[in-house]
Structure 1
Amino acid sequence: MKRYLFLWTALLLAGSVPAQSYDGLWPGMNNLFQLSDAQSRSVSPENFSGEKGQGGKADPADATTPNRANAALAARDLGRGWKVNPYIDIPSGETFTLADIEGPGAIQHIWMTPTGNWRFSTLRIYWDDETTPSVECPVGDFFAMGWGEYAPLSSLAVCVNPGSAFNCYWPMPFRKRCRITMENLNDEEPMRLYYQIDYTLTEIPEDAGYFHAQWRRANPTRNSEYTLIDGVEGQGHYVGVYMAWGVHNNGWWGEGEIKFYLDSDRDFPTICGTGTEDYFCGSYNFDRDGVYQTYNTPYAGLHQVIRPDGMYRSQQRFGLYRWHIADPIRFSRNLRITIQDLGWRHGGRYLPQQSDIASTVFWYQKEPHAPFPVYPDWEQLEVN
């Protein structure tokens, strides 16, 4: 039968797919018992290739070679096989290839613990020998930590756990090749990274789309409207967004409607929301008794509220996510998404705002994808 991959995956996560439709890609509780010919593999600093039987082979004698025996000193009494290279260091201005995998297969889980300024570390993912990335964004924003500060997050697609453990569960199929890189844009210090990328080698359905993620920012917004994504061309479906929203004015800030322009919609969208907090599955200003209430759910949350402290924190800042796992928004030709930047002012009037908004949009589509906007330099990335 025809497999609509993402709906199928969402149902798997919910444990509601009949066992006979499971082919070893993404199991759910309802079919976890079912065996498969898929092969499990994992890339980490202890096994850069991910090949079978090649983990934990780092030699302490290679301590003079960068990223080959970084913990040789700690392992000096135990020797080879005892946690000799559990992490990498990425010098300022350099890019490191975290994984280069031959397919067909699918990324199932990514775990990492990046140090330093999370806005200054750029994660990129390339599918099937493409020359421009399908994923390009600061590592903090990819894992819903755009303000550079830890906040616990528990959802189906992304989890951030103590002390700063980033986890991603977006399924990422590929047919020929997957290449993942990290660039350190910080001109002051190296980046230390522990990471593990878990994947399966298996056949991929013909109708499987490729995972994409794109970062944008406006500081401040213009004309009180922010564009989350534009210029997406081809067939696919939008599966969610993380937003780092910094407010420059007093009062409630989230009156703006989100609008989805599907398949050449022009002046008016096909899907129009009713307010910012409503889109993120909250209501009435996220407010109980005059206090913002943070929340984590499988599909949506306001997981971070950063309040002014009278010293260096001068504005309110918010972290929000909305995953369309059970309700992907499908497009056949193109996609554009905007959100209004509106608050309240005297007399019950809307207040056009000029906020600092950054977003990371996630979607699946057929390749090739349209070119991404030029990636900004550190001045446009920095939280300020």
Structure 2
Amino acid sequence: MFDLSTLCQVVDIKSRSISPENYTGEPGKGGMCPPEQGIASHACRDLGMGWKVNPCVRIEGGSIFEMADIQGPGMIRHIWLTPQGRWRDLILRIYWDDQAQPSVECPVGDFFCMGWNEYSQISSMAVCVNPGSAFNCYWQMPFLTRCRITLENLADKETIVYYQVDYTLQALPDTIAYFHAQFRRTNPLPYKEVYTIVDGIRGKGQYVGTYMAWGVNNSNWWGEGEIKFYMDGDRDYPTICGTGTEDYFCGSYNFEDPLTHDRYAAFSTPYTGLQVLAPDKLYRSQFRFGMYRWHIPDPIYFDSSLKVTIQALGWRSEGRYLPLQDDIASVAYWYQTLPTVEFPPLPDRDYLEVI
């Protein structure tokens, strides 16, 4: 990983970038689209080739677009894209080294910590979301032989996407771990059931992040539940057990504003953050939250297996816990050795929809 102390060093690395102006990332091949073939052919008609002729793509409804196909060894260093419409209608998948199953499978909104289909700025080390719908990912993603990235449009009508995949070609050791991300949603969570963030991970690696889109279906505080990491053969009890939902996401005492004590206090920091979507007087009836926690300085290492769960827990009468039946979605982020265990099937479009 580069930091300020390494930027002054000479290295044997080649920079490349894939976008609609250079679908393959080949050297000297950017901006070569003929004006009559570009999506911006009308706008560039007076200027000609090289003048922003093809800055975006149209993805037909119900189709899959191949965003990148790269021969390694190399490393994805940055992904930027700008989705339109319903962000859960666009599914991001990443395949490593000719695997048949993806190692990343996630709606783009949730992958970039925007699970509620509403813009909220994020300024973190791994994900930045900037005006107006500029989604940025800085997870480093090494691969030895091949990387394929696709976008599936689940909607009936076409969508327009601007994107850029910045990567490097470089020598890598055989001991690299591959980036993974898995989406799940349960709506509503059955009474007294524990929410599963991820299960079935097999291999050696490290867990590096959690994003949750949490829709609360009751009054009063909702975040008493503990997160638990079952690793390397743990069965009934985990090796790592948290003390509360807001504690895991590095907040405290209900995420309350410490001065007024009458509202939630949103925040975005390099490794943790909270987004608050408040109800209004018409149509929106519940609070909705987005929370991220990046284990960048504190990865959770596992040797053979990993399962992560979190309780949905609030308060009821007489000071008793209340198991909640909330709308919960999540993305788990981790690195591991290949092969990737096949993920559970994604829910259909209606189940994914934010309503």
Structure 1 counterpart of 2:79 = 110
Q: What SS is found at the alignment partner of 2:10?
A: coil
Q: Which consecutive aligned stretches of 4+ in structure 1 deviate over 4 angstroms post-superposition? A: none
Structure 2 counterpart of 1:140 = 109
Counterpart amino acid of residue 48 in structure 1: Y
Report if aligned partners of 1:224, 1:342 keep a CA contact under 8 Å in 2.
no
Matches of 2:206 and 2:268 in 1, distance apart?
24
Q: Deviations over 1:146-194 (max 9, x none)?
A: 000000000000000011100000000001111000000012x211100
Aligned 1:173-212 pairs, distance under 5 A: 173-187=142-156, 189-212=157-180
Corresponding pairs, count = 351
Q: Deviations over 1:333-375 (max 9, x none)?
A: 1100100000012221111110100000000000001110012
Matches of 2:249 and 2:26 in 1, distance apart?
41
Q: Deviations over 1:16-66 (max 9, x none)?
A: xxxxxxxxxx3101121011110000000000000000000010122xxxx
Matches of 2:3 and 2:175 in 1, distance apart?
20
Structure 2 counterpart of 1:220 = 188
Report if aligned partners of 2:101, 2:340 keep a CA contact under 8 Å in 1.
no
Report if aligned partners of 2:74, 2:169 keep a CA contact under 8 Å in 1.
yes
Deviation at 1:224, TM superposition (A): 3.7
Residue 56 (structure 1) aligned with residue 4 (structure 2): no
Aligned 1:333-352 pairs, distance under 5 A: 333-352=304-323
Residue 361 (structure 1) aligned with residue 332 (structure 2): yes
Deviation at 1:119, TM superposition (A): 0.7
Residue 99 (structure 1) aligned with residue 106 (structure 2): no
Matches of 1:221 and 1:331 in 2, distance apart?
28
Matches of 2:167 and 2:160 in 1, distance apart?
23
Counterpart amino acid of residue 307 in structure 2: R
Match of 1:130 among 99, 120, 126: 99
Match of 1:83 among 52, 55, 60: 52
Counterpart amino acid of residue 238 in structure 1: Y
Residue 267 (structure 1) aligned with residue 207 (structure 2): no
TM-score, normalising length: structure 2: 0.98
Deviation at 1:307, TM superposition (A): 1.2
Counterpart amino acid of residue 228 in structure 2: K
Q: Deviations over 1:185-224 (max 9, x none)?
A: 012x211100000000001122210000000011111224
Counterpart amino acid of residue 57 in structure 1: M
Report if aligned partners of 1:108, 1:169 keep a CA contact under 8 Å in 2.
yes
Task: Output the aligned Cα RMSD.
Answer: 0.8
Structure 2 counterpart of 1:280 = 249
Structure 2 counterpart of 1:66 = none
Q: Unaligned 5+ residue runs, structure 2?
A: none
Matches of 1:152 and 1:374 in 2, distance apart?
30
Q: Deviations over 1:286-333 (max 9, x none)?
A: 00222100001111110x211111212121100000000011101111
Report if aligned partners of 1:258, 1:340 keep a CA contact under 8 Å in 2.
yes
Matches of 1:137 and 1:374 in 2, distance apart?
11
Structure 2 counterpart of 1:31 = 6
Structure 2 counterpart of 1:152 = 121
Report if aligned partners of 2:188, 2:325 keep a CA contact under 8 Å in 1.
yes
Report if aligned partners of 2:279, 2:287 keep a CA contact under 8 Å in 1.
yes
Percent identical pairs in the alignment equals 62
TM-score, normalising length: structure 1: 0.90
